[in-house]
Amino acid sequence: MAEQKTDQGPKYYAQSAEDVLKQFQSTAQGLSDAEIQKRLEKYGPNALAEGKRKTKIQRFFDQFKDFMIIVLLVAAVISGAVAQEWADALIILAVVLINAFMGVIQESKAEEAIDALKEMATPEARVRRNNAVSSVSSEKLVPGDIVLLEAGDVVPADLRLIEAASLKIEEAALTGESVPVEKDLNATIAEDAPLGDRANMAYMNSNVTYGRGVGVVVGTGMHTQVGQIAGMLNSAKENSTPLQDNLNSLGKTLTILILIIAAIMFVVGFARGEASWIDMLLVSISLAVAAIPEGLPAIVTIILALGTQKMAKRSALVRKLPAVETLGSTDIIASDKTGTLTMNQMTVEKVYTNGQLQEASADIATDNTTLRVMTMSNDTQIQTDGKLLGDPTETALVQYGFDHEFNVSDVVAGEPRVAEVPFDSERKLMTTVHQLADGKLFVAVKGAPDQLLKRVTQIEKDGQSVPADDAAKQTILEVNTSLAKNALRVLAMAYKFIDTLPDEISSDSLENDLIFSGLVGMIDPERPEAKDAVAKAKSAGIRPIMITGDHQVTAEAIAVRLGIVEPGHDEAVITGAELDDMDEKTFDEKVDQYSVYARVSPEHKVRIVSAWQAKGKVVAMTGDGVNDAPALKSADIGIGMGITGTEVSKGASDMVLADDNFATIVVAVEEGRKVFANIQKSIQYLLSANLGEVLTLFMMTLMGWDILKPVQLLWINLVTDTFPAIALGVEPTEPGIMDRKPRGRNSNFFSGGVASSVLYQGILEGLLTLGVYLWAINFPVHTTQAEIHADALTMAYATLGLIQLFHAFNVKSIHQSLFSIHPFANRAFNLSILGSFILLGATIAIPGFNSLFHVTTLNLVQWSAVLTAGIAILVIVEIVKFVQRRMGRE
């Protein structure tokens, strides 16, 4: 008996039906009950295997694998157990727990894609067993079973067809091809034929749209094409996003720097003999705790969450928080064609009638015979609500009639069909006969132009029939070729009148002496907004790539129309078969040459995404079919379609477009870039503030001065770090953000001048704070040393807090002047600064807080010194920015 194999095993489509039946020890009459039971035990049920599922508890603990989170947990332990700063420890733990809970809530479950695949399986299948037809659960199908198919069925397993009568199967979810595939048992199929060209196969979860067929099961469960996709989803590696990489890198860098500074501080202080080693250890730990931006994970999470809300209002639904920022760093958008860049709906685009080629939008007379033939030689069912059911090509023809005020329903009712010769793949024609009111019969024929012209003797022109000579037929064929080169699917229309029905209804008796009336060119058209979206993506430095299962000519034509490739650049187009002939090294070298991939499989899509990622590019992959799911999961950000997308593709995605609008991706990219820029601002603000605190403490210790108390540092971090940093996360988009090139995978939060800004601004904050402390010592208000030092420490505390609030205005833009970016446009920011100022000032100005925060009451002169230091940082940073701009740094 033949073993079940994947695509790498026997090529059943390249073998005869008889040979396949022999391999599976089956016959057209079906298997016996005893044999079925044996095979069920051997192969198992026709169901998809589940990946290993994680419990909610496991997902919760997964959140603590992040390096920054580990650093914060260590800091919490040190703060509480060693430094006895339990308030610090509790705040850090609270931040970590909130971050973990939000991560569990926001992250999508990987097994959703597999669940969706399982739900797609048809519950019943019509089979022939023991030479009798019955319905069984699709899970009970076994290799060798004989399955019967008809229009409306979902294919229950992978089948090698052994009978087919006008059979058409819609395989878009697997191949990306927009038109149902016409099955042909007589076709000779090469072993390397892509899935979309295997005309004698039917694949699990595809849909029968026309005709009927019989097939032998050659693959069940995980050994089907859909099963292979499920396996790829189960084994797909979860890629970390650029945001996660940056946060991990930042955490490691900060930890190393903080430990070095704390160690130096401990060694120098202990060597000077100013304190015991225990006291110096506590001071060093206090400095380390002050240096760690414990609120950063929570702030980043909040900024991302706010970004998801804004994107949701613009039809981009984010399923994983880091995806918001990832879009902003995207270099490549690898997009599926069908349903994403195109409408996934066949539409009439050109009509050739009366010797003239016209656009589908042009007027056409309701008595035009081309219009009549296309709507009468048609099996589309018109529902009472106006919905059209049937083959997409035929529904497009009927829709064209409705769009031109041709009442198809009334015409069909008034001129009923009395006979027909159904379409078949050999003659490629369909004929219907209609009874007219005058007693005559109208014969309507549509089909392939080359086949139909063989049966034409006259051509209609301007309402008259003229002989169809070779020159006239050649003209029609040239129009047909021109339309086909533009990726249009062309059908020819012809007709004749007869007095009575022939004795035998057949092709020979009806499809002769026809009058040619016209050609109709159809296509799955590009979305109206897609061309502008592609142009905007290019202007933002993002390269759009089309990946489709459709034919090369169609794919290239759509790509040219969208502006993805320039006309005549055939070298930018490659097929799946050509990709198979290319080794990894060659493809890696040439990947940036190709912008269109046609007739590709799911494995190809993953390979293309991986090749770009190997070049350090951040790749976004869009798609709506089952065949897109593995690549959606492998990409840095998978973008599913909310309307036309399968549940499988949505389950594998990081983001779903609620409106299936490619242009929404560009909107999401802009929001992603803004989110990253705002996270950069928050990090710049937090790190420069913490560097100022570290420098202040470090210098105070080295100089033997009094140092700020832990409660003072805690309060400064609480009121001046968190609220302004979050408010910076909702800053409006800076002008020109979509004119910049993508920052790419190798960039980080310190790119674009942030690192140098953090350094000099943090040092400046520390120096200004120490300057105020020295001023207070040298120009005292009181006379006793205790009071002088208490005032100086209070002024240093007030300055360190207030200077950070002033500095928040500097951080609104790295290089642009504060006064050119509407400094008070962000209402949340204004309120956060005001609130932080009140909370900071209250600890000094309100009686009763003095002893709690170890501060004294300051007079007007002392407050003036504090305010001067705060304003000074604004002025100095603005001067530095001005110099940077003059030097060409933007």
Q: Which residues are catalytic?
A: 336
Cα→Cα distances 273→269, 652, 695, 701, 705, Å: 7, 62, 21, 12, 14
Among residues 381, 353, 347, the alpha carbon closest in space to that of 495 is found at: 353
User: In angstroms, what CA-CA distances link 472 with 458, 465, 468, 477?
Assistant: 10, 12, 6, 9
Three-state SS across 2-28? CCCCCCCCCCHHHCCHHHHHHHCCCCC
Q: How far apart are CA 249 and CA 239, in angstroms?
A: 16
485 CB-contact burial (10 Å; exposed 0-12 / middle 13-18 / buried 19+): exposed
Amino acid at 446: K
- Tokens encoding 365: 């007379």
Strand partners, 622: 335, 639
Which residue has 């690192």 as its token pair?
Answer: 755
Beta bridge partners of 621: 334, 638
Q: How far is CA 603 from CA 228, 544, 697, 747, 810, in A?
A: 10, 20, 57, 29, 49
Decide: 621 and 632 in contact? Cβ < 8 Å.
yes
Give the other-Cβ count within 10 Å of 461's Cβ: 15
Bridge partners of 461, per DSSP, are 464
Q: Tell me how far apart the alpha carbons of residues 495 and 487 are, in angstroms, rounded to a whole number.
A: 26
- In order of 423, 447, 503, 522, 836, the CA distances from 426 in angstroms are 9, 11, 23, 22, 80
b or e along 816-836 (b: 16 or more beta carbons within 10 Å of the residue's beta carbon)? eebeebeeeebebbeebbeeb
List own/partner pairs for 312-315 with CB under 8 A and 24 or more apart.
312/658, 314/664, 314/667, 314/668, 314/671, 315/642, 315/657, 315/658, 315/659, 315/661, 315/664
Contact call for residues 745 and 329 (beta carbons, < 8 A):
yes
Contacts of 791 (CB under 8 A, 6+ apart): 776, 780, 781, 782, 856, 858, 862
The owner of tokens 């980043």 is 300
Residue tagged 């002008």 (tokens)? 735
User: Which residue carries 């797909």 as its tokens?
Assistant: 236
Closest CA to 766 of 700, 856, 821, 837: 700
Cross-strand bridge partners of residue 458: 467, 515
Say if CB 332 and CB 660 are below 8 A apart.
Answer: no
What does each C-alpha distance from 35 to 27, 138, 160 come to in angstroms?
12, 17, 20
Helix H, strand E, coil C: the string for 866-884 is HHHHHHHHHHHHHHHHHHH
Contacts of 477 (CB under 8 A, 6+ apart): 449, 450, 453
Which one, of 438, 440, 379, lies nearest residue 408 by Cα?
379
Dihedrals phi, psi of 521, to nearest 5 degrees: -105, 125
Of 462, 449, 463, 464, whose CA–CA distance to 494 is shortest?
449
Distance CA 660, CA 654 (A): 15
Cβ proximity of 331 and 668 under 8 Å: no
